[in-house]
Structure 1
């Protein structure tokens, strides 16, 4: 079992960046990944969108009044 997950970020300040994060207890990545905005509201984050066939997860940038933690898949 791989203990890390590859993630590609789309949109926002980190567009196109690929990162590797520790996997959650069920083996999948956690979502959302908060984006610091110098105290600005609403909250910004990268949210899990889908997984590509080669295993990389795609996260899309979103700005929302509230960002909820999604269950690990």
Structure 2
């Protein structure tokens, strides 16, 4: 089955944004504020969690897409 660019782009975007939001809310639960003024430890920690969450969400979306593509083939 040929890759559909629309499905690929949408699944990547949803995975990234979903993961970033999970990282953001995890940071909030831990007291890390991404939007704090300056670049203190809490702000940097929150930014790191958002980035890691976005990356993990993107990887999860790609694995999901590849697994579903293998089933279709």
Instruction: Give 1 or 2: higher strand fraction.
Output: 1
Instruction: Give 1 or 2: higher helix fraction.
Output: 2
TM-score, normalising length: structure 2: 0.29
Instruction: State the structure with bigger RCO (CA 8 A, min sep 6), 1 or 2.
Output: 2
Larger Rg: 2
